[in-house]
C-alpha cells in the first residue's frame, strides 16, 4: 500500500529522541504454547494463538491505523480505537491526522487517553513531501512551506499527545551533486529542529524504496538517513526505519537496525512482497520483533500496511498474524 493511498484515505476521513517510554503491564515471557496437530501450518497456528490470547496486551506497541479494522469496529474512529484496545494493541498511527478537523483531532486524542493507547506518527510535511525537490535545492520557498507545516504539526501533536512525526525529504535534484543536496537537507532539518526542540517533539525522517513505490526520492537508505541525523545533531531529528521499504532497498534488516540504533526512534512494518501483514511475505517478523524486544525497544511499531484478505475474516487474520509474531523468544 503506497503512502499516497494513505493520504487519499485521510483526506476522506476514512481512512512520525530514541524510544524511552516503557510499556505498562506487558509480559516479559511468552505464555504457554498452543498445542496443534503436526502439520497444521502457520495460518492454523496463528489462528489458534489469536483465539487463546484474544484481548491480551501485545508485548510490543504495534500501532494499527484507521480503516484497518473498520469492518469489525465500524467507521467511527473512536469505535475503532476501542476495538484496537480491546484486541490488545497499545498504540495508533494515522498518517493523515494533520488534515483532520480540529474537533476530530481532539475527540481522537480523548479516546486514546481513555483507552490507554499512545499516538504514533502522522505526516508533518505534506506540502514538501512528495513530487517536489524540496529539501535538495536550498530553495527558501520550500523552507518557508516546511516550517509552516511544522507549526501546524506542533498544535496537532498537542491535541493527540503525539511525539513523533514523519518527515519525507522530497525528490532528488538530478542537476546537483548528491553531497550538495545532502547539505541543503541537513540545513533545512536544522531549522525544523529548532522549532521542535522546545516542545520535546521529534521528526523521524523516512527512507523510501525507489524500486517499487517511490522512484526519484532523495532519501532511500538507512545508512543515508543515519548520516543525515548525525549531521543535524539534534534530538528532534531521528530515523524512521520502515522495514518494508528497507527490505526492498537493501535488506540486511537486523544488522542495519543495530548499526543505526542510536538514531532510530520509530519502526514501521509491512511484509514484502505485497505490503500486507507479517507472515504474508519473506520477512521473518517473529525474529525481527524478538530482536527489538531483546534490545529493549519500547517505542511504537507502526502497522503501515494493508490487509491481505478482505472483510472481518481478513481483519482477524491480521490480528492473528501479530499474535503469532509476538510469540517470539524473549
What are the Cα distances from residue 317, in Å, to 2, 3, 53, 64? 21, 22, 14, 13
Class in CATH terms, 3-24+52-326: alpha beta
128-144 confidence digits (pLDDT tens)? 999 999 999 999 999 99
Average pLDDT, the chain: 91
Report pLDDT for 26. 39
273 contact partners, CB below 8 Å, separation of at least 6: 281, 282
Distance CA(166)–CA(194), nearest Å, equals: 16
297-330 pLDDT, tens digit per residue, is 999 999 999 999 999 999 999 999 999 999 999 8
* Dihedral class, residue 25 (left if φ above 0, else alpha if ψ from -120 to 50, else beta): left
Task: Please state the pTM of the whole predicted model.
Answer: 0.88
Q: What is the structure's pLDDT at 70?
A: 98
Check pLDDT > 50 for residue 8: no
* Domain limits, the chain: 3-24+52-326
The pLDDT, as a whole number, for residue 36 is: 53
Between these two residues, 24 and 43, which has the higher pLDDT value? 43
Cell match 532528488: residue? 172
The tally of CA atoms less than 13 A away on the side-chain side of residue 138 is 9
The pLDDT tens digits of the residues spanning 68-115 come to 999 999 999 999 999 999 999 999 999 999 999 999 999 999 999 999
Amino acid at each position: 500500500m503506497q503512502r499516497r493511498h494513505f493520504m487519499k484515505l485521510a483526506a476522506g476521513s476514512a481512512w512520525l529522541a530514541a524510544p524511552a517510554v516503557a510499556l505498562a503491564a506487558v509480559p516479559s515471557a511468552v505464555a504457554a504454547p498452543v498445542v496443534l496437530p503436526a502439520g497444521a501450518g502457520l495460518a492454523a497456528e496463528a489462528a489458534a494463538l489469536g483465539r487463546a490470547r484474544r484481548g491480551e496486551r501485545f508485548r510490543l506497541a504495534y500501532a494499527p491505523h484507521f480503516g484497518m479494522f473498520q469492518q469489525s469496529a465500524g467507521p467511527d474512529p473512536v469505535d475503532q480505537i476501542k476495538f484496537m484496545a480491546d484486541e490488545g494493541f497499545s498504540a495508533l498511527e494515522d498518517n493523515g491526522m494533520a488534515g483532520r478537523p480540529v474537533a476530530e483531532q481532539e475527540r481522537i486524542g480523548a479516546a486514546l487517553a481513555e483507552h490507554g493507547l499512545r499516538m504514533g506518527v502522522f505526516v508533518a510535511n505534506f506540502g514538501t513531501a512528495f513530487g517536489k525537490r524540496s529539501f535538495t535545492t536550498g530553495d527558501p520557498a520550500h523552507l518557508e512551506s516546511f516550517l509552516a507545516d511544522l507549526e501546524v504539526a506542533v498544535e496537532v501533536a498537542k491535541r493527540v499527545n503525539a511525539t513523533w512525526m514523519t518527515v519525507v525529504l522530497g525528490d532528488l535534484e538530478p542537476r546537483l551533486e548528491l553531497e550538495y543536496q545532502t547539505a541543503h537537507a541537513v540545513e533545512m532539518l536544522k531549522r525544523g529542529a529548532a522549532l521542535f526542540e522546545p516542545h520535546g517533539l521529534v521528526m523521524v525522517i523516512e527512507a523510501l524504496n525507489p524500486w517499487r513505490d517511490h522512484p526519484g526520492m532523495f532519501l532511500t537508505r538507512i545508512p543515508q538517513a543515519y548520516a543525515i541525523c548525525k549531521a543535524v545533531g539534534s534530538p528532534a531529528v531521528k530515523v524512521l526505519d520502515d522495514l518494508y521499504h528497507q527490505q526492498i532497498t537493501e535488506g540486511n534488516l537486523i544488522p542495519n537496525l543495530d548499526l543505526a540504533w542510536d538514531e532510530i526512534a520509530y519502526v514501521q512494518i509491512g511484509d514484502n512482497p505485497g505490503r500486507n501483514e507479517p507472515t504474508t511475505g519473506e520477512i521473518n517478523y517473529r525474529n525481527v520483533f524478538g530482536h527489538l524486544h531483546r534490545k529493549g525497544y519500547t517505542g511504537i511499531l507502526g502497522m503501515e500496511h494493508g490487509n491481505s484478505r478482505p472483510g472481518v475474516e481478513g481483519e482477524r487474520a491480521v490480528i492473528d498474524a501479530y499474535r503469532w509474531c509476538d510469540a517470539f523468544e524473549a
